[in-house]
Amino acid sequence: MDFMPEAQPSTNAQASSTPPITLAIDIGGTGLKMMALDKDAKPVTGRVRSDTPIKPTPARVLEVLESLRTQIPSFDRISAGFPGVIKDGHTMTAANLHPDWVGFDLEGELEKRWGKPVRVANDAAVQGYGAIAGVGVELVITLGTGMGSALFTRGRLCPGLELGHHPFRKKREYEDFLGRRGLKEFGPKKWNKYVLKAIEQTAHTFNWDHLYIGGGNAKLVSFTLPEHVSLVSNQDGLLGGIKLWGDQA
Ligand code: BGC
């Protein structure tokens, strides 16, 4: 989904960082990224990245993750954001990856390979956890390869909202207009119009108190945001990987 900034750790970050160290992984339709963060979401390593394999099956993606992981010295636990529906650590959909992900035990597989506790969540939910205030109804949408969405009431996630695949206009889904395909097909000016329209539509559908917009293409939003709408900073996105661990952090 493209929310990990290219943060650079301070020199001797590993030595001065507060444990536990979380290996935050972002599995996206375009890139695979990871970095290690300390308890306060301070980067302990730089961000490492590889392109998502052309045929992004679980086996191929895990192979690339394995090679990225060798660049991260050590960590205590793993948080992974995945671009699809997650149930009990299994990936249930993967619209922008490969059908082999349906029913795949990603949590179990990473745990088995790397011997550390793992939590996997939808990528938009991870970003949301880092961004929300925990007050009222908060909706997060992410604009990247796909369009992600996560709905929270009083800080609790209502899992499985896949707004990107709901009808938006002309019998086509939100993601067709607001995801990478839409940006390419319609160009930035029209794409911005659709983003604004989506803001209005979701306001009426969910009656959110606040809407957050994140993802790699959020930086292309060029209109003045309406009241109660804000952009999610990359740093907030990272914090979500820590928040996945809740009060165990
Ligand atoms: C997926 C979502 C994901 C979004 C952003 C969509 O295609 O269905 O689960 O959050 O892309 O990666």
pLDDT in tens, 159-207: 999 999 999 999 999 999 999 999 999 999 999 999 999 999 999 999 9
The answer to the question of residue 201 being in a domain is: yes
Residues 145 and 229 in one domain: yes
User: What is the count of structural domains for the chain?
Assistant: 2
pLDDT in tens, 8-58: 665 555 557 889 999 999 999 999 999 999 998 899 999 999 999 999 999
Q: 38 CB less than 6 Å from ligand 1? A: no
The answer to the question of residue 244 being in a domain is: no
Q: 123 CB less than 6 Å from ligand 1? A: yes
CA distances from 5 to 1, 47, 49 (A): 12, 7, 11
pLDDT at 148 over 60: yes
Residue 66 CA to residue 69 CA, distance in Å, equals 5
C-alpha angle 213-32-63 in degrees, rounded to nearest 5: 155
Residues 94 and 168 in one domain: no
Percent of the chain scoring above 90 in pLDDT: 88
pLDDT of residue 163: 98
Q: 26 CB less than 6 Å from ligand 1? A: no
Residues 148 and 223 in one domain: yes
The answer to the question of residue 155 being in a domain is: yes
Average pLDDT, stretch 63-87? Answer: 97
Looking from the CA of residue 149, the nearest atom of ligand 1 is: 10
The answer to the question of residue 81 being in a domain is: yes
Distance 95 CA to ligand 1 centre (A): 7
CA distances from 175 to 8, 48, 155, 168 (A): 32, 27, 25, 8
Task: Place 1 in a pLDDT band, splitting at 50, 70 and 90.
Answer: low
pTM of structure: 0.94
pLDDT of residue 8: 63
Mutate to test the pocket of ligand 1, among 30, 122, 143 (most ligand atoms within 8 A of CB): 122
Average pLDDT, stretch 62-77? Answer: 97
**Residue position matching structure tokens 């660049």:** 71
pLDDT of residue 246: 84
The answer to the question of residue 246 being in a domain is: no
Domain that holds residue 196: 127-237
pLDDT of residue 248: 46
Q: 52 CB less than 6 Å from ligand 1? A: no
For 112, counting Cβ atoms within 10 Å of its Cβ (0-12 exposed, 13-18 middle, 19+ buried), the class is exposed
Q: Looking at 67, 94, 122, which one is the last position of a domain?
A: 122
The SS3 of residue 100 is helix
pLDDT at 249 over 50: no
Q: What is the CATH number for 63?
A: 3.30.420.40
pLDDT at 3 over 90: no
Q: 96 CB less than 6 Å from ligand 1? A: yes
Mean pLDDT of the chain: 93
Which of 11-50 are b and which e, b meaning 16 or more Cβ less than 10 Å from the residue's Cβ? eebeeebeebbbbbbbbbbbbbbbbbbbeebbbbbebbbe
The answer to the question of residue 249 being in a domain is: no
pLDDT of residue 190: 98
Closest C-alpha among 161, 153, 164 to residue 121: 161
pLDDT of residue 247: 47
Q: Looking at 94, 122, 150, which one is the last position of a domain?
A: 122
Closest C-alpha among 88, 56, 69 to residue 25: 69
pLDDT in tens, 222-248: 999 999 999 998 777 778 999 999 844
The answer to the question of residue 14 being in a domain is: no
Among 4-8, 103-107, 114-118, the least confident range: 4-8
Residues 132 and 116 in one domain: no
pLDDT of residue 173: 97
pLDDT of residue 234: 73
The answer to the question of residue 80 being in a domain is: yes
